[in-house]
Structure 1
Amino acid sequence: MRSWPSPEIPVLPVQGPPVALHDTATGTLVTTRPEGAARMYVCGITPYDATHLGHAATYLGFDLLNRAWRNAGHEVRYVQNVTDVDDPLLERATKVKVDWVELAERETELFRQDMTALRVLAPDHYIGAVESIPLVVSLIERLQEVGAIYRVEDDLYMSVTADPAFGAESRLDRDTMLRLFPERGGDPDRPGKKDPLDCVVWRGERPGEPSWPSPFGPGRPGWHVECTAIALEYLGAAFDVQGGGSDLIFPHHEMCAGHAQVAEPGTAFAKVYAHAGMVGYDGEKMSKSRGNLVFVSALRNSDVDPMAIRLALLRHHYRADWEWTDAELWDAVDTIADWRRALALGAGAPAAPVVTEVLTALASDLDAPRAIAAVDAWVRATLGTDGLAENSDPDAAVTMLALLDAALGLSL
């Protein structure tokens, strides 16, 4: 599947520190130590609707990680999927009377445009569920060989008990898992399952639904096994970071880890599991079912500067849950204008300490609010609010423009 064009990233005069992230599986801050290229998998969209600000906040959060690694001197190998066949997509296509393939292609293209406008670095491999079916079939066959797969009517399930480490990624107790599982696509009450938490890996053909041939009969992949197969193929086991929204901690990332760890015994799926917070609007998490979505494309089409959208999102720590307001956007528009005025002066307050502070902040669990505060302080000093230092830096604007772009993805 085609990705989107990545912007050029300036090379900074100094190297950033090692990057530490909060690891969901341990609840601690873990310093990433890539061996060779830093390897990251971030779960992508199910393209049945346009990119909303909750999506954008997640992908901007992991874009900061991509940039922080690069500024620390690492190459990055980044993989993202597109679940271009799944129940929500098929249901939406039926409801609006549009071919599901056409709907998936249209919304995926809109997502590409949104990511391009927000200057998110593109994945090296952007893989759709449909094109990954041979990888999924191969992975299911490996799981069958170790006795982890069983059949319920025309569907195949994986036994969660096959993974001795099941539950280690989410650290949830069984009662909580049983409560969340049906809310997030699971079917704990289906007769014939060995365990209510077992998840489908191959969904047998249903009337009116797309299907593909396989050794197990016609059907299509389950959601969790799709991401697992793609990650193992393009990154290998024990890659550096598995990322996504916090709503994916369970069951999605737990199940992905289980599939991989049964297929690759003794090897963790990922070294760190990092999760972005949820963005709300009108008092609830943004979601299609609640009808409270704010779309990136709608803001762009109303002539809002994409850099203001990006700044408004980056003012919140990537792990925080928070609520979007129009006031935040307009404040970001004003802030961008102030920053551009300061940069237009050429000379300014010394930039070197700001470079150090910004790179240090982002290396400490991607602390964008702290980094932005450092830039704000430089702008105030340069514009005179705090008094421009006597030893003004004649090259401050050049340095700051490169820093904003390389570290925060803001092209001003």
Structure 2
Amino acid sequence: MSVLLIVHVIPILILFSVILCTVEGDFGSSILRSAKRDKAWLVSIRRKIHENPELRFEEHNTSALIRQELDRLGIPYTYPFAKTGLVAQIGSGSRPVVALRADMDALPLQELVEWKHKSKVEGKMHGCGHDAHTTMLLGAAKLLNERKDTLKGTVRLLFQPAEEGGAGASHMIKEGALGEAEAIFGMHVDFRIPTGRIGTISGPNLAAVSMFRVKIHGQGAHAAEPHKSVDSILAASFVILALQQLVSRETDPLESRVLSVTYVHGGTTWNVIPPYVEFGGTLRSLTNEGLDLLQRRFKEVIEGQAGTHRCTADIELGMEGYPDYPATVNDDGLHQFVKRVGGLVVGSDNIELSDKVMAGEDFAFYQKKIPGVMFSIGIRNENVGSVYSPHSPYFFLDEDVLPIGAALHTALAEVYLSEH
């Protein structure tokens, strides 16, 4: 290339780069401005849902509220999926198709935060932010509908029940909620990072999870005659201690696995050795293979220890109502995409690398079907008391996150369709 040509080409490339950056910056800030104009509406929706929490597969009023708002906005949807879920669709109806997902269910938890919009239902609370997730996706539905003529394909918005233990995602998939979607995005509020920041990570993000229940059967007897018993309490004690070695002595220290016994029930009085003891808890691993291995050794140790103490064991894994969850593993390409597009909305300085967490998330079921990414959106704000972890009775949300989340969903879907 001649020096003269270089002299002419370089300024053109610089100008093109400046124009591109300006256009992209305007794109993200424009969506965020539109979302912030809807903040009062978003807050009102979130508070209605928060005041009336519903547990898994019981989200009838929440679902009705979403459908009412979609009808008002003129957005078509299909209902029901997985009893109370629904799927809205916006765009051309043709490929490419991208999916956005929000969970709707609350927790069996008594809210201890005293504020005007506290839960009105005794023993139930939106203590994990699903009311915010639902609201942000509904906000994205409004924004995407306003921009539907510019969409280069189709967006499917999945309002999903029963994330908290019911594996609602698996039911949504079985009933066809994904349609022809080729990628899916999910978002979860995160009390560890400030409001307005995004956390994302490639690869394993959240754990594969299995709940368990075990009964050690022996033979009851009076406490004064222990030799006439087959002591289930003694056997259960040895079993529980032996189980702790599965992580401490059989797992590579560089791998992440958890075995937690969380309750033990045995006997009803002080002078009788009970005929059985029940205990339960959870197994977790950042890989599906790790969970499979942990489950296999879990059974072997229990049966071996119970037999040593002349007892038998009933072992229940993946209990009814609490099916096993696979590991949440983020697609690297979509992780990079979230970093790039998220930066257009909140600024590249507000994107950070997420920490891996041993919590479970049924978003993983979608990822077993199509590439997907679950990323975090910050809600930490000491000034409003948004500093408590999910599943805490003191969990509180910084509602400034609502338009930010709506804008992020919108930008991710629109840019994905434009690039595919």
TM-score relative to the length of structure 1 = 0.30
Question: Which is bigger in relative contact order (C-alpha 8 A, separation at least 6)?
Answer: 2
